[in-house]
């Protein structure tokens, strides 16, 4: 990229070296340079946004290939360049922040702390890309931990078998099981510390005739968390837990619409929350993150 005569309509700073050069250019406190840096930041934000959206969308696998992924990435790069620099967009907010930073300090040429370092892989929400300030940018998702990976590996086979029978994505079930149990660390237990094998936090209603585990849990009443004792189902095996969960989602009128929302993690999680699967007002957001973590792990383990 020629930083002496900057032209953002055809290029994008997509690596740490180019990004560092942009920061250096901005340090000259030139209005034109600052404007270009802001545009490049917005382009990178847009590219990361589209990448996140694609990762959250299930693929059929029929036409997937390394060449196709490269082509999609290049297309996203061009789209991000074309969409950046629009009046009232994120670039204007970043340029304003940079200008204020330059005016308040002559000792540092670094961008303000509210401007994220794209070299670290920061992601933004859809709202941020539509023109909100850089403060709205979400935190970088953490890499899956070893315990998360081990949990997914442990239950992957039975989840895949249930998917074949019911159509409920294995990654979605594994993500929900991971979220409900703290990735196996906080599994519901019977008296004496015996595992209940209840990976999905399914409660024991009046019609349940199997074993029951009574534990203290947190329920939300009018948005406020309250501790109370609840009765949960207990199973002979983890396979039984997956089967009972799939039966609940597939056959219960309460969750009739949820199974059809398996096109995305967010839609599936939101459907479960709307149907009353959990009382936590943030359940859908937490579950979406757990599912996306699981999908990332499964791609790495494939």
> Would you name the residues annotated as active-site residues?
219, 244
C-alpha distances in angstroms, 214 versus 106, 191, 226, 228, 231?
A: 63, 8, 16, 10, 5
CB 10 within 8 A of CB 21: no
């Amino acid at each position: 990229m020629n930083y002496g005569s900057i032209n953002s309509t055809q290029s994008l700073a997509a690596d740490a070296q180019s990004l560092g050069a942009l920061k250096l250019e901005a340090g000259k406190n030139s209005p034109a340079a600052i404007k270009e840096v802001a545009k490049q930041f917005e382009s990178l934000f847009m590219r990361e946004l589209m990448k996140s959206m694609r990762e959250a969308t299930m693929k059929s696998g029929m036409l997937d290939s390394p060449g196709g992924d490269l082509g999609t990435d290049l297309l996203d790069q061009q789209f991000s360049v074309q969409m950046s620099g629009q009046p009232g967009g994120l670039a204007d907010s970043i340029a304003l922040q940079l200008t204020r930073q330059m005016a308040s300090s002559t000792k540092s040429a670094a961008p303000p702390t509210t401007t994220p370092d794209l070299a670290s892989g920061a992601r933004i929400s859809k709202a941020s890309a539509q023109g909100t300030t850089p403060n709205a940018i979400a935190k970088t998702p953490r890499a899956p931990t070893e315990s998360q990976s081990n949990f997914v590996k442990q239950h992957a086979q039975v989840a895949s078998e249930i998917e074949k029978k019911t159509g409920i994505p294995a990654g979605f079930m594994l993500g929900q099981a991971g979220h409900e149990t703290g990735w196996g660390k906080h599994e519901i237990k019977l008296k004496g510390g015996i595992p209940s094998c209840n990976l999905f936090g399914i409660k024991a209603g009046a019609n349940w005739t199997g074993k029951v585990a009574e534990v203290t849990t947190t329920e939300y009443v009018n948005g406020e968390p309250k501790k109370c004792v609840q009765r949960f189902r207990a199973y002979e095996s983890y396979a039984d837990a997956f089967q009972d969960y799939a039966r609940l989602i597939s056959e219960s009128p309460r969750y009739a619409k949820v199974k059809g929302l398996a096109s995305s993690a967010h839609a599936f999680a939101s459907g479960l929350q709307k149907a009353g699967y959990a009382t936590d007002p943030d359940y859908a957001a937490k579950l979406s993150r757990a599912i996306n973590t699981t999908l990332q792990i499964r791609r790495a383990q494939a």
